[in-house]
Amino acid sequence: MTTVCLLGADDCDLRYELLSRETSREALSTYRLNRPFENSVAVETISLGSAVSLLNDLDWYLVRFAEAALVLEPSVSGAEWLSRALAEAVREGSVPPEESGRYLMVYGLETAEDGAARPVEPMYVTRTGPQLPEYDLREVEETMVVRITEDEFGG
């Protein structure tokens, strides 16, 4: 199963925004909604293609209400998320899965007031070996690694 996770922008309640609008509510109606992080919505899809398709269906809402759209595709990595742009590139075949792990965003994970994990302040790193640099932007208990495209890294 491929997981899609949408991280909400700081100024809105992402779940409310998605479910209060007919088109996004219909697009999400066949999925069980989860909340792996504070102000997030996650669903499991059957494939990378269906994950990208769902993100395309929700594009109007993502531009307005989401900080990030992430995809966890087990055939690429079981622990590292893919940015939406990288997920599309892997699906289209323009980036081979085995070459997708060079450019990274590492989010710190803090514990929110309600006990949920809250992604904070991404650190951009380039993988040069098996070990990643320590997250040093602030003190956190855990981190979350997101693979990104070269363009996202440089932009």
pLDDT single digits (tens) 130-150? 888 889 999 998 999 999 999
For residue 81, how many other CB atoms are within 10 A of its CB?
Answer: 25
Q: Which CATH number fits domain 2-98: 3.30.70, 3.90.1070, 3.30.160, 1.10.10?
A: 3.30.70
Please give the backbone phi and psi of residue 13, each rounded to the nearest 5 degrees, phi first. -95, 100
**What are the DSSP calls for 99-133, one per residue?**
G--SEEEEEEEEE-TTS-EEEEEEEEEE--SSSPP
Q: Is the pLDDT confidence value at 155 over 60?
A: no
Mean pLDDT of 66-91: 96
Non-local (6+) Cβ contacts of 77 within 8 A are 100, 101, 147
Domain ranges of the chain: 2-98, 99-154
Question: Structure pTM?
Answer: 0.93
Give tens-digit pLDDT for 20-67.
999 999 999 999 999 999 999 999 999 999 999 999 999 999 999 999
